Structure formats: structure tokens, C-alpha cells
Amino acid sequence: MPVSDLLASGFDVLLCIGLLWLAWQAITGTGLFRSVVMFMVFGLMMAVTWARLGSPDLALAEAAIGAGITGALLLNACRAAVSEMRSDEQPLRDRPSGVPKWLALPLSLAAGVGLAWLMHSIPRDGGPTPEAAIKAAETHFLDNPITSVLLDFRAIDTLLEMAVLLLALVGARVLLDQRRLPALYPVPDHPMPMLPSLLAMITPVLLLTGLYLFWAGSHAPGGAFQAGALLGALGVMYQLAGRFTPTHEPGTVNALLITVGLGLFSLFACLSLLWAPAPLSHPEQGAYALVLLIEFALMLSIAATLVLLFVGSRSLQLRRSTNHPGGRQ
Amino acid sequence: MLTDWWTIALVTVGCAFFLAGTVGLLRFPDVHTRLHALTKADNVGLGLICLGLMIHDGTLPGILRLGFIWILAIFAATVSAFLIARWHESAGTED
């Protein structure tokens, strides 16, 4: 075996051990914060693993959504839980929840066994589907096979994913209203020095990268989910730097941004019945422009939903920059 | 090939900086010295690794991209180190 192969296998073995160790640390860690950080590092290692397995699309999505945005959401929840524990209210974990904790083990085992059984029932060579998919992808009007699967072959999955995302936001809103959690991350009165310069530098870079990923999605690794996650990360940074003010009246622009992806996609599903027997079929003419339009709407909705999930408020408003020169918090 | 040796040398020295930074992060006594170890060593280490890979790549787009990665990492590391140090000051705890 050549030395380079040996090195590569050694790296893969290290990656596997590291993943298992990080997962174990994230579950059994002593503190909430520690567990969240371990989970984020796990996400990054997972992204490296996907890249090693030759799936740059998944690697991008895992790094942006799995490690980045989910990590930020978990840190937010961790902070809310800690401040709730410190307040006079009864701590979160002592409340009777009605569901015993030990149920988690048999439930996740059952889910795992069920999934494994489902996977086992798929024929070893995948049946006729892979061949048909590869053949169809070769002549497809989208050059990226991943995007043609997401927006054509299995467009119904993407449509339902968008519905899940919207439901998640609605569910989070309902829970926040019921529990009256403390305001997460109050807007700082005085902007911290250095943060504005970082924002000024990172805004064009993230915008460019996000729009590039959206554009590249039709012929190279990228797409609406990765681009939306990047733009969502930009929104999270704006919120943390106090450029966004959370508001409790849902604004029209916010509502539009959240629903435009699912709305446009559903509209397309209905309209496509005009020219095809099945919903979500692409027309002969102008399919490429249609895909770009839908992808753009999906990207906007994903970004807006992720930011609003992070902020935990009904909507956001860009506030005029109030610079207090030399102001310290 | 001479360029290959340059690449190997630069990447190895870069990795040594990463190792030193990690040891510093684990062994130094308080937040400020740990940050010092982390940011300084990681920035130089990443810079050297990027430089080595630039020599290995040799094409203009590749060189520009690697340089861009390094600059972005420096920006992020600077601000995050500043924020951690500031949080440490405001928390006022000895760690």
C-alpha cells in the first residue's frame, strides 16, 4: 500500500474515532454549554466526513446548518435555560414533564432498528431507481444532479421540508408565548467596538457567498438551503450586534419573507397541473428560470425563518445605526 | 521537486504552530494567556499552511482563494478573541 493511501486511511480512522468521541461527549457532558460546544464541533467534523465521502453538497449543508445555525440556536436555548434557572421560577429540569426520561433509550433504539430494517429492505443494488435517476440526470436541464433531485425528481420532499420549517417557526412562537421565556439576547445599547468593522467586512462577503451558492446550485455544489443558511447566519450576526430590533408586531415584510418560499412552491405545484398530469412537473419552456425563481424564494424563506427562530420574536426591524462614540457597555 | 519541499516545510512549520497553540490553550493559566496562545499561533500556523498550499497550487485563482481564507480567519479570530476577553473582563472572574 502506498504511503499516501496509508495516511488517508489513518486520517479516516482518526475522523471516525473523533466523531464517536465527540458524540459521546455531547450526550454525557456535565454542563449544557459544554455539550452544545461538543455538538457544534461534532457538526464540523461531520462536514469534514461528508467532504471525505465526496459529497460537497452535504458537507456545505452540514457545516452551515448542522454546526452553524443549529449551534447558535442551541447556545440561545442554553442561555435561556440558565437564566431561567437563576431566576426565582422553578428550574426547567425539575418540572414534572409527564414523560419519564428512560423512555428516550427504547424509543431511539426502536427508531434506529426501524430505520435499519427499512434500509435493509432496499435491494443491495438499489433496484431500478439509481440507474433511472442517473440516466435522467444526464439529460436534465439542471447540471447539478443534487439540485435536479431536490427540485424535480423529489420536489415533493423539498416542498414538505419547507412546510416543516414553517411549522417549526410557528411551533416555537406558540411555545415562547405560552412559557414567556426571558427575552433572548437583549439588544445592546452601545455597539461594541470592533463589531461594526467585522460586520462591514463580513456583510459583502456573506452576501456574495450566499448568492454565489444560490447561483451555483444549478450546476455545482450549492443551492437554496446552503445559501439560506449563510444569509441566516448574517442575520444572526446583525441581531447579535444590535442592528436588528426584535418587534412583537408581525411586520408585512417579515411575514412575506417567511411564507414566500412555501407559497411560491405550492403555487407552482398547483399551476403545473395545467401543463402536466402530475403536480410539480416542470414545463417544456422556461423551466430553468422557474427553478431559479423558486430557489431564490426558498433561500429567502429559509434565511428569514432561521433568523426568527434564533431571535425568538415575531419579527425584526432594521434599526438606524446609533453610534455612541467610545461607548462601553 | 524544490516547490514540493517548500510546501512540505511550510505546512510542517504551520502544523507545529498549531500544536504549540493547542498546548498553550491547554496549559496556560488564565483566559488572556490562553487567547494569546490561540490567536497568535493559529493565525501564523494557518498563514504558513495556506502559503505552503499556495506554492503547491500555483494557479492564480487558487492562490487568491487561499489568501482569502487566511484573511477571513484572521478577522474572525481577532474579533472573537476580543469578545472573549471583554466577556472575561465584564464577568470579573478569575479562571
Compute the average pLDDT of residues A287-297: 90
Supply the range of the domain harboring residue A14: 1-84
Reported confidence tier of residue A243, pLDDT bands at 50, 70, 90: confident
Residues A272, B29: Cα–Cα separation, whole Å: 65
* Domain shared by A24 and A149, yes or no: no
* Domain shared by A75 and A163, yes or no: no
CB pair distance less than 8 Å for A202 and B83: no
Domain count, chain A: 2
Task: Locate all alpha helices (DSSP H) within chain A, ordered by sequence.
Answer: 3-28, 32-52, 56-61, 70-86, 104-121, 129-138, 145-148, 155-179, 195-216, 224-240, 252-271, 287-311
**0.90 surpassed by complex ipTM:** no
What share of chain A has pLDDT > 70, as a percent?
87
Q: Of A66, A84, A102, which residue is a domain's last?
A: A84
Q: What is the pLDDT of residue B12?
A: 94
Q: What is the pLDDT of residue A296?
A: 93
CB pair distance less than 8 Å for B82 and A202: no
The x, y and z cell numbers of residue A276, run together, are 402536466
In a domain, A301, yes or no: yes
Q: What pLDDT, in 10s, does the model give residues A178-194? A: 665 545 555 566 667 77
In a domain, A214, yes or no: yes
In a domain, A185, yes or no: yes
> Would you state the torsion angle of the CA atoms of residues B73, A328, B88, A205, taken in this order, to the nearest 10 degrees?
-10
If interface means Cβ-Cβ distance under 8 Å, which residues of chain A face chain B?
192, 194-195, 198, 201-202, 205, 329
Q: Are B31 and B85 in contact (CB under 8 A)?
A: yes
Q: Are A182 and A83 in contact (CB under 8 A)?
A: yes
The x, y and z cell numbers of residue B36, run together, are 494569546
In a domain, A24, yes or no: yes
Q: What is the pLDDT of residue A32?
A: 86
Residue A276 contacts by C-beta under 8 Å, 6 or more apart in sequence? A283
Question: Distance of CA B83 to CAs A73, A237, A308, B90, B93, Å?
Answer: 19, 13, 24, 10, 15
Closest C-alpha among A203, A186, A200 to residue A240: A186
Residues of A within 8 A of B86 (CB-CB) are 192
Q: What is the pLDDT of residue A302?
A: 93
Place of cell 443494488: A125
Question: Distance of CA A10 to CAs A4, A246, A323, B40, Å?
Answer: 10, 49, 52, 29
Q: Of A50, A69, A84, which residue is a domain's last?
A: A84
Amino acid identity of residue A25, one-letter, is Q
Q: Are A65 and A26 in contact (CB under 8 A)?
A: no
Residue B17 contacts by C-beta under 8 Å, 6 or more apart in sequence? B41, B42, B44, B45, B48
Chain A closest CA to B79's CA: distance in Å? 7
Chain B closest CA to A328's CA: distance in Å? 10
Residues A276, A267: Cα–Cα separation, whole Å: 14
| Highest-confidence segment of A161-165, A219-223, A309-313 | A161-165
Chain A closest CA to B9's CA: distance in Å? 17
Compute the average pLDDT of residues A171-184: 68
Q: What is the pLDDT of residue A189?
A: 61
If interface means Cβ-Cβ distance under 8 Å, which residues of chain B face chain A?
72, 75-76, 78-79, 82-83, 86, 90
Q: What is the pLDDT of residue B36?
A: 86
Report DSSP state, residue A273: G
The mean pLDDT value of chain A amounts to 83
Reported confidence tier of residue A96, pLDDT bands at 50, 70, 90: low
Q: What pLDDT, in 10s, does the model give residues B57-82? A: 889 999 999 999 999 888 888 888 88
Residues A320, A243: Cα–Cα separation, whole Å: 8
Q: pTM above 0.90? A: no
* Domain shared by A79 and A226, yes or no: no
Q: What is the pLDDT of residue A173?
A: 82
Q: Of A42, A64, A84, which residue is a domain's last?
A: A84
- Closest-CA residue in chain B for A240? B83
Compute the average pLDDT of residues A206-232: 89
